[in-house]
């Protein structure tokens, strides 16, 4: 098999992050091929919590309402101490993205919704049952080597004939043990953290049993065996138990052992086990999310974190969004190639910050030393709560350096408010549209020359003058701008702030800077990549 024209983008891995990258690019009409080694969707849950930013992506993909049939807004999160009594209750803070701060969900339903969406996208081709085994970078395209995947051996069949696929860009979305990362020669910095946890998902027998179980996440910070329980969506329930030192993972496959662990909550006839598995939680971040000019890493292939914050998949979704809009503009010829370089420089520090926060969170909640745990419990009870960690901003990349706003809004997540425009009302992205938006407080004027406005529109820019062409019905956008002393802000397609200005007179400079940065062309990168898995037989 083969075709003369390279695909625009090849995505290796159809986990949630690869699927989202494919859906975003496919909806933009980009020609995408997705390569997944397993013949069928995985079908079992890993992630259970998603945040408001993920919801804004589902909104864009048109599946938010469908997911809300089962996804459950999280109203609180409680920790219980070494004595089994409450130590702290986290109320969920308001969220900027136009959705509740976080939700629990059942991952197979998300992946099924994404698969259905991708099925309907004519420019996305799904190749299942083949694994990526080699990558060769040429000046204007990448050659990707594929081999049939032997499910029984859980390895590519390297004795079979290799198939070659060509693409202009390659996205490695192939998970924590990423073959693509290895082939690209990108080292990952491992934090040296390793814990084994037993993860079990249950379907309660009926509504009465389900109603007896808490509908919000609970962390049991018992030094003898830290564990947690949470709803994963409206119907399912998740427990996670830390394995202690030399415990044998095989014991956790025995039903009597499983039901022994669950006995405080449920009897065996009250629920069906959907799956139980021992996972090793690790923390690692790739040294770069890019290699050469044309290859990128997203999701767990780029960063891996223990699930204490529920941000692993969410971070991957941010990667997919950040890369998809850049690739779309570059492939369309509306942006210069250096736009792609800011993907790694922005996303890496952001993901690293969340890896660090996840580790810090786990260190506190999973304290194994009884004395230290008792001290933690006393301190948290005395404090009466915990200040939420500041959410990280993007690393350096595409941003308007001097915006006259302090503290700077550059690289911060924007606010999505409810608005009304041209007879439509609803969330900003649905009403005004997606892409770059220049949002002006107090009706403008925007001071843009016709040429600057046309150039802004040519990269997908829209102007929303609050109080003029757009009414800020819930006051969220006006409140946000005024809290920062901003007369105008430019929000990027990935919802992060490019820049803000305190004076309307500075809007043209802000937009000019955006256009200059988007159009910049990268210097040719001398690095080329030629890697194939060893022992691959070429025919
Ligand atoms: C127990 C647990 C709980 C978690 N809870 C949360 C949570 O609440 N919230 C959250 O945001 N995150 C959570 N996470 C993290 C989240 O599950 C991961 O971050 C997410 O699944 C990563 O998605 P991905 O698409 O990057 O990778 P994966 O889901 O690992 O998908 C990678 C895909 O690539 C395929 N592949 C691999 N190699 C090749 C190859 N050579 N060729 C072709 N295909 C290949 C694989 O078969 C797989 O389908 C949790 C993780 C675990 C284990």
The CA distances from residue 507 to 88, 124, 321, 412, 438, in Å, are 45, 38, 26, 19, 9
Backbone phi and psi for residue 88, each to the nearest 5 degrees, phi listed first: -160, 145
Taking the centre of ligand 1 as the mean of its atom positions, its distance from the CA of residue 428, in whole angstroms, is 31
Residues having CB closer than 6 A to ligand 1 are: 12-18, 35-38, 42, 46-50, 131-132, 173-175, 179, 199, 279, 299-300, 307, 310-314, 316
| Beta-strand relationship, 76-80 and 218-220 | parallel
Q: How many angstroms separate the alpha carbon of residue 186 from the centre of ligand 1? A: 19
Residue 263 CB partners (closer than 8 Å, separation 6+): none
Interval between CA 212 and ligand 1 midpoint (Å): 31
- Closest atom, ligand 1, to C-alpha of 104: 8
Calpha distance 136→144 (Å, rounded): 7
Cα 255 to averaged position of ligand 1 atoms, centre (Å) = 26
Q: Whose CA is nearest to atom 52 of ligand 1?
A: 46
DSSP 496: B
Centroid of ligand 1 to alpha carbon of 316 (angstroms): 9
Give the closest residue (by CA) to ligand 1 atom 26: 299
β-bridge pairing 142-150 and 418-421: unpaired
Please say whether the beta carbons of 176 and 304 come within 8 A: yes
Per DSSP, the residues of 345-372 read HHHHHHHHHHHHHHHHHHHHHT---HHH
Cβ-contact 114, 24 below 8 angstroms = no
CA of 209 to the centre of ligand 1 (A): 30
Handedness of CA 108, 113, 118, 120 (dihedral sign): positive
Indicate which atom in ligand 1 lies nearest the CA of residue 51: 11
Q: What predicted TM-score, i.e. pTM, was given to this entire model?
A: 0.96
Listed in sequence order, the residues at least 6 apart from 192 whose beta carbon sits closer than 8 Å to its beta carbon are none
Q: Which of 21, 22, 47 to mutate to test the pocket of ligand 1 (most atoms within 8 A of CB)?
A: 47
346 touches 49 (CB < 8 A)? no
DSSP state of 337: G
Q: How far is the CA of 175 from the centre of ligand 1 (A)?
A: 5
Q: Which residues pair with 72 in a beta bridge?
A: 104
d(CA 242, CA 224): 9
E-assigned strands of 39-141? 49-51, 72-73, 76-80, 86-91, 102-104, 124-128, 130-137
Q: Are strands 188-204 and 49-51 parallel, antiparallel or unpaired?
A: unpaired
User: Ligand 1 center to residue 174 CA distance, Å?
Assistant: 8
pLDDT one digit per residue (tens) for the chain, 539 residues: 456 799 999 999 999 999 999 999 999 999 999 999 999 998 888 999 999 999 999 999 999 999 999 999 998 999 999 999 999 998 888 999 999 999 999 999 999 999 999 999 999 999 999 999 999 999 899 999 999 999 999 999 999 888 999 999 999 999 999 999 999 999 999 999 999 999 999 999 999 999 999 999 999 999 999 999 999 999 999 999 999 988 999 999 899 999 999 999 999 999 999 999 999 999 999 999 999 999 999 999 999 999 999 999 999 999 999 999 999 999 999 999 999 999 999 999 999 999 999 999 999 999 999 999 999 999 999 998 888 788 999 999 999 987 789 899 999 999 999 999 999 999 999 999 999 999 999 887 878 999 999 999 999 999 999 999 999 999 999 999 999 999 999 999 999 999 999 999 999 999 999 999 999 887 655 455 556 554 343 33
- Is residue 497 within 8 Å of residue 412, measured between CB atoms? yes
Residue whose CA lies nearest to ligand 1 atom number 1: 46
Q: Whose CA is nearest to atom 6 of ligand 1?
A: 47
| The two structure tokens encoding residue 49 | 């919590």
Atom 17 of ligand 1, nearest CA residue: 47
Residue nearest to atom 38 of ligand 1 (CA): 174
For residues 94 and 415, the answer to whether their CB atoms sit within 8 Å is: no
- The tokens for 205 are 């027998």
Q: Whose CA is nearest to atom 5 of ligand 1?
A: 47
| Ligand 1 atom at minimal distance to the Cα of residue 179 | 41
Q: Which atom of ligand 1 lies closest to the CA of 176? A: 30
Number of DSSP helices (H) and strands (E) in the chain, helices first: 14, 27
State the Rg of the chain over Cα.
24
- Beta strand segments in 233-354, E: 236-242, 271-286, 290-291, 295-297, 303-304
Task: Please give the distance of CA 400 from its chain centroid, rounded to a whole number.
Answer: 24
**Tokens at residue 397, please?**
């990349």
Task: Choose one of 67, 239, 300, 323 to mutate for the ligand 1 pocket test, by most ligand atoms within 8 angstroms of C-beta.
Answer: 300
Q: Calculate the alpha carbon distances from 305 to 17, 352, 355 in Å.
A: 15, 9, 5
401-429 as b/e: b if 16+ CB within 10 A: eebebeebbbbbbbbbbbbebeeeeebbb
Rounded Cα distance, 194 and 282, in Å: 5
């Amino acid at each position: 098999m083969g075709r003369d024209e390279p695909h625009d983008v090849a995505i290796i891995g159809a986990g949630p992050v690869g699927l989202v990258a494919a859906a975003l690019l496919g909806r933009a009409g980009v020609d995408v091929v997705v390569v997944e080694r397993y013949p069928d969707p995985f079908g079992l849950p890993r992630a259970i919590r998603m945040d408001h930013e993920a919801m804004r992506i589902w909104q864009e993909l048109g599946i938010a309402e469908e997911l809300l049939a089962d996804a459950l807004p999280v109203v609180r999160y409680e920790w219980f101490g070494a004595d089994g009594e409450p130590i702290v209750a986290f109320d969920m803070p308001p969220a900027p993205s136009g959705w509740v701060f976080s939700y629990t969900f059942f991952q197979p339903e998300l992946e099924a919704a994404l698969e259905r969406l991708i099925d309907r996208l004519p420019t996305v081709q799904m190749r299942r049952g083949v694994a990526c085994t080699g990558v060769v970078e040429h000046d204007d395209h990448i050659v990707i080597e594929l081999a049939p995947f032997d499910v029984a051996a859980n390895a590519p069949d390297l004795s079979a004939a290799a198939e070659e696929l060509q693409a202009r860009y390659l996205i490695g979305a192939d998970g924590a043990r990423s073959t693509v990362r290895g082939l690209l020669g990108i080292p990952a910095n491992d934090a040296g953290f390793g814990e084994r946890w037993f993860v079990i998902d249950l379907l309660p027998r009926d509504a009465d049993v389900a109603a007896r179980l808490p509908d919000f996440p609970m962390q049991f910070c018992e030094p003898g065996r830290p564990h947690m329980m949470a709803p994963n969506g409206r119907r399912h329930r998740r427990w996670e138990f830390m394995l202690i030192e030399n415990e044998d993972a095989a014991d956790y496959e025995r039903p009597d052992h499983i039901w022994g662990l669950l006995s405080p909550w449920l009897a065996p006839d009250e629920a069906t086990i959907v799956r139980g598995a021992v996972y090793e939680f690790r923390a690692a971040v790739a040294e770069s999310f890019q290699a050469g000019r044309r290859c990128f890493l997203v999701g767990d292939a780029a960063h891996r974190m223990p699930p204490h914050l529920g941000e692993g998949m969410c971070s991957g979704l941010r990667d997919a969004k950040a890369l998809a809009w850049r690739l779309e503009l570059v492939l369309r010829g509306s942006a210069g190639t250096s736009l792609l370089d800011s993907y790694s420089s922005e996303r890496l520090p952001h993901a690293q910050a969340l890896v660090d926060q996840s580790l810090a969170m786990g260190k506190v909640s999973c304290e194994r030393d009884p004395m230290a745990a008792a001290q933690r419990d006393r301190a948290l009870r005395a404090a009466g709560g915990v200040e939420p960690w500041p959410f990280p901003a993007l690393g350096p990349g595409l941003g308007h350096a001097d915006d006259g706003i302090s503290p700077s809004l550059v690289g911060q997540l924007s606010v999505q408010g409810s608005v009304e425009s041209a007879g439509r009302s609803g969330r900003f992205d649905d009403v005004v549209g997606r892409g770059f938006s220049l949002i002006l407080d107090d009706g403008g004027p925007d001071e843009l020359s016709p040429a600057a406005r046309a150039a802004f529109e040519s990269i997908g820019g829209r102007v929303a003058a609050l109080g003029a062409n757009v009414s800020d019905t819930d006051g969220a956008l006006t409140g946000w701008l005024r809290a920062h002393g901003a007369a105008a802000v430019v929000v990027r397609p990935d919802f992060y702030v490019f820049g803000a200005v305190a004076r309307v007179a500075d809007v043209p400079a802000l937009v000019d800077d955006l256009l200059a940065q988007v159009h910049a062309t990268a210097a040719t990168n001398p690095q080329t990549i030629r890697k194939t898995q060893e022992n691959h037989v070429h025919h």
